[in-house]
Chains A and B, each alone.
Chain A
């Protein structure tokens, strides 16, 4: 993971990333890693820590999480118009492909079922890689005034485990978000 130099973002490349993700990233779940790879590792437009920060901030905002992230990054790296064009390139190809599939493709054929199962598996794998990257981000603060004592790390990991477990047991998203946030605030401000 190269966190070295920050280079100047380029609008054409930004559009390329949005279109590539909008038109080819099938399977759901793993698109965030495509963005991280492009922005942090390949082009060095931002640091990994900044990317993690953007993910955290946008996932708690209302609206589709990935669209939120793409919008936030668009504002951060380009300008309002490039953000809007990027979102069009990201959001329009998918439904067009969907309408094409609805009219012309037999999704019940064995070959198609296998192909989409494979895409889903691939997508789960890259989502898992990104989730691991986020989990390792629990150990960082990028600020010397905030301690990362072992006790605090254990508390952070416990909050993550509790929220994940509660969500799997059927606790609604909002409840998990609010409850987890209160616990997280206690860990950061009181421990």
Chain B
């Protein structure tokens, strides 16, 4: 029970200090989990991080998975509650304040002044995500060209409203397996 409370408080703190997502405080999180609390090993941390990249939903999947490793299902839910209760409290206050004052001209201007910052940060994230795909299997011209071609086809289907955003992800998954398998068969 005590351990679950500690897990809850740990992830609550992490959620509060993380600006821009968990990735921004990954090294600090590892230091605290591995060196300070000795809850998991460095290898377990890396393994959890890698698997968390493949799962659906928000980028917070890592926290309950670590909670489970430390203290079973009780740890899983403690970490989940810790991660999600911070946004509920903070965003509850923010929503209340914004709803109350959003009609004021200077508040509207304040929101508009933040927009270019968010657009800039999004574009940077987008570029980083794209760059992260440049692993060795992806570097050859044929694979990159194929990726662009399938990407354009997917965007075309989306713009024609033939598929929705979630379908687009699955379309790309299926198309990428099919094309890679096809290329390898032809090369052989």
A interface residues (Cβ-Cβ under 8 A, vs B)? 20-31, 33-34, 37, 52-53, 55-68, 70-72, 75-76, 80, 83-84, 87-88, 90-95, 97-99, 101-102, 107, 110-111, 113-131, 134-135, 137-138, 141-143, 145-146, 156-157, 159-165, 167-168, 172-174, 176-177, 180-181, 183-185, 187-189
Provide the bound-state CA to CA distance between A22 and B60, in Å.
Answer: 11
Contact with A26, one of B54, B124, B128 (Cβ below 8 angstroms): B54
Question: With A107-B54, A121-B176, A188-B113 given, is the CB distance from A59 to B168 under 8 Å?
Answer: no
Q: Is the CB of B80 within 8 A of A180?
A: no
Q: Is the interface of B mostly helix, strand, loop or mixed?
A: helix
**Stretch binding the partner chain, chosen from B1-9, B29-37, B44-52:** B44-52
Q: Is the CB of B19 within 8 A of A173?
A: yes
Q: Is the CB of A123 within 8 A of B24?
A: no
Contact with A83, one of B88, B112, B155, B158 (Cβ below 8 angstroms): B88
Q: Which residues of A contact B87 (CB under 8 A)?
A: 61, 63-64, 67-68, 71, 87
A25 nearest CB neighbor, chain B only: B56
Q: Is the CB of B111 within 8 A of A56?
A: yes
B68 nearest CB neighbor, chain A only: A99
Contact with B168, one of A126, A157, A172, A174 (Cβ below 8 angstroms): A126
How many A-B Cβ pairs are below 8 Å? 332
- Which chain B residues in 134-177 approach chain A with CB under 8 Å? 137-138, 147, 150-151, 154-155, 158, 164-166, 168-177
Given A22-B56, A64-B59, A125-B158, 11 additional A-B pairs, CB 8 A: A34-B164, A34-B165, A91-B58, A94-B58, A98-B61, A114-B180, A121-B133, A123-B169, A138-B116, A145-B105, A164-B123
Can you identify 7 A-B contacts, CB atoms within 8 angstroms?
Answer: A33-B165, A55-B118, A58-B91, A134-B115, A159-B120, A161-B120, A184-B117
